[in-house]
Structures are given as C-alpha cells and as structure tokens.
C-alpha cells in the first residue's frame, strides 16, 4: 500500500529553525517528526511512500535512506506552492488502489491498522471546543455529509486532523482535475478539502475515524508540547556534553553543550550551547549560545 506525505513547505512559523532544515526533520522527543510518522505506518502494510518535497528536499532524501530497508521511497518536487490538494495530486496514480495521506507536521495516535483496513474513504477527526478555527466534517450517523472549512456557525465539532484514507487514487485525482479545470480555489490554493467535497457530491461515501491524540508540530509552542507529551525520559545524544545540570523533559541533539544549567521542556538543536542558565519551554537553535540567561522555571 502507498502513503503520500507532503513535506514541501518552508515552515515559516518555525523560523529561524526551519531555515536550516525541512521542518519535518526538526527533532521532537529525540528524533525527527518524520521518523515518528514513518514508525507508525511501517507495521500496517505501507511499503511505498511518496514524499512531496520542496524546501530542503535534499535533507528529506538523505534522511529517508535510514528507512530504505523498510519501505520504498519516491520523491516528487512541488515546484510551485499551489496548495495541499495540488501537493497530494503530485503523488497520486490513476488507479483504483487505495492511498494513505498524512500531513508532515503532525503526529497522530490512532488505530492505524483499523484505519487502513476500511473499505470506505475515511477521514481522521478529533473533537475540538472551537470548530470555527478548523476544517470540519458534518455527519449523519457514521457517514460524512459535508466538508466545511472554518464555518461561522459550525454544526459539528469534528475537526479534520490531517490523515486521510482514500479508497481510490484515481477518483481523488479525478476530483482534483475538476478543481484545476474549473480553477476552483480556496484562499487562492487548490485545497484537498474541496476535492474531497467534490468526491462526496459524486457519490463517494466517507466515514470518520477518531484520532486518539493529534500532536501538532507546526509552531514552536505545539512542537514543545508534543516533545513533552512523547518523552518517556530525557533524550540526550551520545555526542552531547552535560555538566552539573538539572534536566527535565529535554531533547538534546548532537554536539550540544550544557554547563551549570536548569532546563525544563527544552529542545536543543545540533551545536547549541547553554551555560549558567535557567530555561523553560524553549527551542534553542542550531549552533545558538545562551549564557547567563534566566527564564523563570
């Protein structure tokens, strides 16, 4: 079975860290976001992964070599940022085979085997208190009746999480072609949600699958929250140096140095240095140095 993972975006909300690498390769709980995603799909029959690349695509190619014994990778460059629908379309084949689509900036905790075993199209959803901020689905019993993007008067609190099981690649491609041919855009982009709505109008059935935990990694605050959620113990790279320090919920990458510090819920990117500091809830950038700084714990 095939999975498509769009990872072409620049990740402006994670600058300056995303200037140096693809945002899906930023570490959380000791390994890249993309590694967490791949680890969750390797045991459910996914043996082919199409990665839609762009910004720092060479980094993505290099990283995926570490998974080459587990699955086959294909890389397709999205040369223009024309929307998520366009990105996914680049990875589709005109066949009736199913495909798993996963966004590259979130980690989903759910029953993956049950999800990819569905004979229906299925959309991963989770309940939210503020559905007007999300793309949502409206349902009748177990079937989706409407896809709505950020509704003013939401009739549902089921937000679209960013993981999709599509029973026919060809049918999704047909609906995307409908958007292209008729220049149907939302916020000046070809949206995957619009293509799914077209499939629905063409008679395709969609069910929902509940996401047990949607761990967003798209902004610094949620990346740090996900780091804290997933860490079972501190991750300290074997090539990092720690002296006389107290560490809690930290991911410390290679070539980092920590001396006389108290750190809580910190991600230190390669080459970073912290000396004589108290820091909490912070991403310390590549080769960045903090000296004599106290952010109250």
Closest CA to 226 of 116, 114, 107, 119: 107
**pLDDT tens digits along 35-81:** 999 999 998 989 999 999 999 999 999 999 999 888 999 999 999 88
Residue 232 structure tokens: 């079972």
Tokens 């780091």 belong to 227
pTM (two decimals): 0.93
pLDDT of residue 297 exceeding 60: no
pLDDT of residue 296 exceeding 70: no
- Please give, one letter per residue, the 3-state secondary structure of the chain: CEEEEEECCCCHHHCCHHHCCCHHHCEECCEEHHHHHHHHHCCCCCCEEEEEECCCHHHHHHHHHHHCCCCEEEEEECCCCCCHHHHHHCCCCCCCCCEEEECCCEEEECCHHHHHCCCCEEEEEEECCCHHHCEEEEEECCEEEEEEECCCCCCCCEEEEEEEEECCHHHHHHHHHHHHHCCCCECCECCHHHHHHHHHHCCCCEEEEECCEEEECCCHHHHHHHHHHHCCCCEECCCCEEECCEEEEEEECCCCEEEEEEEEEEEECCCCEEEEEEEEEEEECCCCEEECCECCC
Residues in the chain: 297
CB atoms under 10 Å from CB of 47, counted, come to 12
CA atoms within 13 A on the CB side of 20: 11
Task: Output phi, psi for 76, to 5 deg.
Answer: -125, 125
pLDDT of residue 292 exceeding 80: no
Cβ distance 6 to 104 under 8 Å?
A: yes
**pLDDT tens digits along 214-241:** 999 999 999 999 999 999 899 999 999 9
Average pLDDT rounded to a whole number, residues 141-169 = 90
Choose between 170 and 297: higher pLDDT.
170
pLDDT of residue 295: 63
């Amino acid at each position: 079975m095939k999975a498509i993972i769009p990872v072409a975006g620049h990740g402006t909300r994670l600058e300056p860290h995303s200037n140096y690498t693809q945002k899906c390769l930023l570490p959380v709980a000791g390994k890249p976001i993309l590694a967490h995603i791949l680890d969750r799909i390797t045991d459910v029959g996914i043996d082919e992964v199409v990665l839609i690349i762009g910004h720092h695509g060479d980094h993505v190619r290099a990283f995926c070599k570490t998974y080459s014994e587990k699955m086959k990778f294909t890389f397709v460059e999205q040369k223009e940022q024309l929307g998520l629908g366009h990105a996914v379309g680049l990875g589709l084949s005109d066949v009736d085979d199913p495909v798993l689509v996963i966004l590259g900036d979130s980690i989903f905790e759910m029953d993956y085997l049950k999800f990819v075993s569905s004979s229906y199209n299925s959309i991963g959803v989770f309940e939210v208190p503020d559905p007007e901020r999300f793309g949502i689905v409206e349902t009748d019993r177990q079937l989706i009746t409407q896809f709505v993007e950020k509704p003013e008067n939401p009739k549902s609190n089921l937000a679209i999480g960013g993981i999709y099981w599509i029973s026919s690649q060809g049918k999704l491609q047909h609906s995307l072609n409908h958007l292209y041919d008729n220049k149907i855009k939302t916020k000046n982009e070809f949206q995957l949600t619009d293509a799914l709505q077209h499939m629905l109008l063409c008679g395709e059935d969609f069910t929902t699958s509940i996401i047990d935990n949607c761990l967003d990694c798209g902004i610094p605050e949620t990346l740090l929250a996900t780091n804290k959620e997933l860490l079972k113990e501190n991750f300290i790279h074997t090539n990092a140096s720690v002296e006389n320090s107290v560490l809690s919920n930290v991911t410390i990458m290679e070539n980092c140095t920590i001396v006389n510090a108290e750190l809580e819920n910190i991600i230190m990117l390669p080459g970073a240095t912290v000396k004589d500091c108290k820091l909490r809830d912070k991403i310390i950038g590549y080769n960045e140095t903090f000296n004599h700084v106290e952010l109250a714990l």
